[in-house]
Structure 1
Amino acid sequence: MATRPRVSVAVTIDYEALRREPDLEAHDLIAYDATDQLLVRRAAELRDNFSGEKPGDTVVIGERHGAITLSLVLPQEQGGHGLTGVRVFQDTLLNERALMCNAARLGLEGEFPFTREELGRDLVKGAKTVLLQLPKSLDELAEIAYWVATNADPEATLIAGGRVKHMTLAQNEVLSRFFTTVQAERAERKSRLLIATGPVDDPADPPFPVTGVDADLPFALHAYGATFGGPTLDHGSRLLLRHLPEIAPEATRIVDLGCGNGSLAVAAALARPTAQVHATDQSWAAVNATNATARWAGVSDRVTVTRADGAEAVGDGWAELMLVNPPFHAGQVVSEEIARTLIRGAVRALAEGATILVVYNSHLGHRAVIEREIGPTQQVARDRSFTVVRATKR
């Protein structure tokens, strides 16, 4: 692959000032890593320190807390590159909020020199450089690669980076379905970049949303690349749904926290024809997947889907029944605190005497948290992997 000669690039924004807030924070979690820094440095080298850059030429996908975007847009006197019109896509709402918080923390105010876009044609149309934090999911990578290959400038460069311990040859193979050249660069500081150029002729239609059926469900599931679990019914949700008919059968205001592909929300709506269901998830892919699942199941008039952090979009005391299959990871970070934060935040939205039904990995100690935060708790079901409990708000 022919590239421009490397130039000396110094990017020295105040990375130590960045925070993960309001994303999960802990003493051993930081808001940037070597991949963020490597992506920006390599992009500057390939584009001669962004000489001649026009607004909209650069796109950032998979930004987590702002390290990439802010390195690009902060003025040069603050160690950035002073770019404008940078387009950014972040699947999770907390990552979006962290970017905005860090932008303010580093002095950006008023009209920001970047725009947030949804994943699709408008995000990457005509882009010359696309910087990508490699996603965990190969399906998500394929969805992103498709949009870049079919809508960015034909001479565009996709620079994808990740921590070496999370990278596999399968990522190269996915990119090779959409680009004629995929080059892995030498690892630096435990991070590595993949450089993809030359879109293939007539790549396959976008593979998303995808659809799946399950014998235990009277409807099809839909999913986008970043939808957790894809178009399948995960084991925990399956166990919960077996007991849903007997739990608070009179409830007509139901909330599904962390709706994913919509399996719980749509099943509840179909099982209770008079119920209104409010499904929430902070993932763009999950919200779109649940909307698609509800639409094809014919219940979109009774299932409201909101991109939100936990129960923040649900009115005080609105929920008579809440269904929760909490996540255990945020990106590559695995933590029990994610689920516990979700449970604590649910209290306000529960009506007095309301029921919350939670499924979780059996080895986790969530029951004590549920009983302390919500109220009296009983085990509904348990198998080798999962436990389902119900609690009544005291």
Structure 2
Amino acid sequence: MNQLHVPQGEFSLHRYPVRAKETLRAWDAADELILQHLADVITQDNSLQNILILNDGCGALATALAPSNPVIMSDSFISHQAIHQNLRSNHSDDFQISVIDCLKSPAEYLPKPEAPLDLVILKITKSLAQLEDQLHRLRPLITEHTQILAGGMVKAIHTSTLELFGKIIGPTHTSLAKKKARLIHSQPDLTLTPGINPFPKSLPLPDHHLDIINHASVFSRDKLDIGTRFFLDNMPSGDLPCSIIDLGCGNGLLGIAAAKANPNAKLTLVDESFMAVASAEKNFASNHTERQADFHVTDCLAGISDNSADIILNNPPFHQQNTIGDFIAIQMFKDAKRVLKTGGELLVIGNRHLGYHVPLKRLFGNCTTQASNKKFVILRCIKR
């Protein structure tokens, strides 16, 4: 289950965090297809020194290609941890591999910082906006000699995906599908004028007297989603000093609203997306010029002190990259119980059909409905 067999070797790979009886692999067919294609390319072309890998979910590409010292870019803290974990467990050699977030410029981390990229390997994610942002960021770092190779599952590759490559990079074609995955080959055309990167985007919210910016990977970056709107309309308020955490903060809207409704509260905003936390930090500063807040990129509430929060606000995601399930929400609930003070409360919003009340009541011993409408419910749990 955990053994990846590719031309570069055999590797033991695990998702992060490691869970007992894990049923999901740490790679997909697109990873295998990319590595099979690259088996001869990298070996035969010794000039490929500056290699950049984007969106490596759990480190399959980084681990297999470690001897080439690639730079790895990912917006996910969890992916960063998985990549480091799998590199350590599979390689005793000290390869010079940098794992950076997507807001950094890879140029300073490359083996030859002054030279352009020789090879770009890009995993296609579900987010077309993220792809557009990444291609714009790549554009200044490539030449007509740069090899651009992308791979993804067929369900994630659409006409719009190929159009973005054609518009920003150059002529593009795809391979035949294999195991429901395919490759994208794009030839850089430096005569193209793709325009400016549209990200980060501004999102004015006049009804809430807020002006928000969103980086490309942020959830609901083009409009205020109805679940968040409902949570904003039911935000707890008070004048007493307290500690409030916005868990899975996204662009920080809930934390910003909580700061407004609780003028003496200390705010902490947490997410596993580097772009989300960067957006939240910028938005909090621009909408609360007189307030300070703490910002953390981490897995759920890892690194946050036990028994330290009075209120935790949570709009949990129901997917991690392409994997759908409630495992992230459950981990968030467990971490929230650990971090809450005795008597502290967790407020969770979710679609009614997700049934979060069941695991919450099992974990906290209590769960009441704070507010509800036809689609959403806000649940309240108190740590006894």
- Specify which of 28, 42, 47 is matched with residue 33 of structure 1: 28
Write the distance in 2 (CA, Å) between the matches of 1:286 and 1:31.
24
- Specify which of 317, 320, 334 is matched with residue 330 of structure 1: 320
Letter in 1 for 2:7: V
Residue in structure 2 matched with residue 61 of structure 1 by the alignment: 54
Instruction: State the shift of 1:309 in Å.
Output: 1.0
Correspondence 1:232 to 2:223: yes
Letter in 2 for 1:103: L
319-328 or 379-388, which deviates more: 379-388
SS class of match (1:144): helix
Correspondence 1:94 to 2:94: no
Q: 1:197 to 1:301 in 2, by over 3 A?
A: farther
Letter in 1 for 2:136: Y
SS class of match (2:170): strand
Residue in structure 2 matched with residue 195 of structure 1 by the alignment: 185
SS class of match (1:88): strand
- Specify which of 217, 236, 245 is matched with residue 208 of structure 2: 217
Letter in 2 for 1:95: S
Instruction: State the shift of 1:203 in Å.
Output: 2.8
Correspondence 1:115 to 2:98: yes
SS class of match (2:210): coil
Residue in structure 1 matched with residue 14 of structure 2 by the alignment: 19
Write the distance in 2 (CA, Å) between the matches of 1:230 and 1:68.
29
Instruction: State the shift of 1:328 in Å.
Output: 0.3
Contact 1:323-1:356 within 8 A present in 2 as well: yes
Which TM-score applies when normalising by structure 1?
A: 0.88
Write the distance in 2 (CA, Å) between the matches of 1:377 and 1:321.
15
SS class of match (1:376): coil
Instruction: State the shift of 1:274 in Å.
Output: 2.0
Q: 1:210 to 1:300 in 2, by over 3 A?
A: farther
Residue in structure 1 matched with residue 232 of structure 2 by the alignment: 241
Instruction: State the shift of 1:58 in Å.
Output: 0.5
Write the distance in 1 (CA, Å) between the matches of 2:20 and 2:281.
30
Instruction: State the shift of 1:30 in Å.
Output: 0.3
Contact 1:133-1:161 within 8 A present in 2 as well: yes
Write the distance in 2 (CA, Å) between the matches of 1:104 and 1:338.
25
Instruction: State the shift of 1:25 in Å.
Output: 7.3
Q: 1:366 to 1:300 in 2, by over 3 A?
A: farther
Letter in 2 for 1:384: K
The one-character-per-residue Cα deviations of 1:314-365 (angstroms, maximum 9, x if unpaired) are 2221111110000100011000121011111111110110111110111112
Instruction: State the shift of 1:271 in Å.
Output: 2.3
Contact 1:149-1:199 within 8 A present in 2 as well: no
Write the distance in 1 (CA, Å) between the matches of 2:245 and 2:48.
46
SS class of match (2:295): strand
Residue in structure 1 matched with residue 110 of structure 2 by the alignment: none
Write the distance in 2 (CA, Å) between the matches of 1:222 and 1:120.
15
The one-character-per-residue Cα deviations of 1:61-82 (angstroms, maximum 9, x if unpaired) are 0011111011111xxxxxxxx2
Write the distance in 2 (CA, Å) between the matches of 1:65 and 1:43.
18
Contact 1:254-1:275 within 8 A present in 2 as well: yes
Contact 1:257-1:310 within 8 A present in 2 as well: yes
What is the RMSD computed on CA atoms of the aligned residues? 2.1
Residue in structure 2 matched with residue 176 of structure 1 by the alignment: 166
SS class of match (1:63): coil
Contact 1:254-1:277 within 8 A present in 2 as well: yes
Residue in structure 2 matched with residue 387 of structure 1 by the alignment: 377
Instruction: State the shift of 1:249 in Å.
Output: 5.8
Letter in 1 for 2:80: E
SS class of match (1:357): strand
SS class of match (2:245): strand
Write the distance in 2 (CA, Å) between the matches of 1:299 and 1:378.
35
Residue in structure 2 matched with residue 105 of structure 1 by the alignment: 89
The one-character-per-residue Cα deviations of 1:150-195 (angstroms, maximum 9, x if unpaired) are 2233421221111112221110112222022111121122111111
Q: 1:262 to 1:355 in 2, by over 3 A?
A: same
Contact 1:40-1:68 within 8 A present in 2 as well: yes
Letter in 2 for 1:305: F
Contact 1:231-1:261 within 8 A present in 2 as well: no
Letter in 1 for 2:92: L
Write the distance in 1 (CA, Å) between the matches of 2:88 and 2:337.
31
The one-character-per-residue Cα deviations of 1:206-263 (angstroms, maximum 9, x if unpaired) are 21111112244221222111112215322111111211145x6635211000001111
Residue in structure 2 matched with residue 83 of structure 1 by the alignment: 68
Runs of 4+ displaced beyond 4 Å: 23-27, 44-48
Write the distance in 1 (CA, Å) between the matches of 2:185 and 2:354.
40
Residue in structure 2 matched with residue 345 of structure 1 by the alignment: 335
Instruction: State the shift of 1:281 in Å.
Output: 0.5
Write the distance in 1 (CA, Å) between the matches of 2:130 and 2:79.
17
Q: How many residues align?
A: 371
The runs of 5 or more residues in structure 2 that have no matched partner are 1-5, 108-112
Residue in structure 1 matched with residue 257 of structure 2 by the alignment: 267
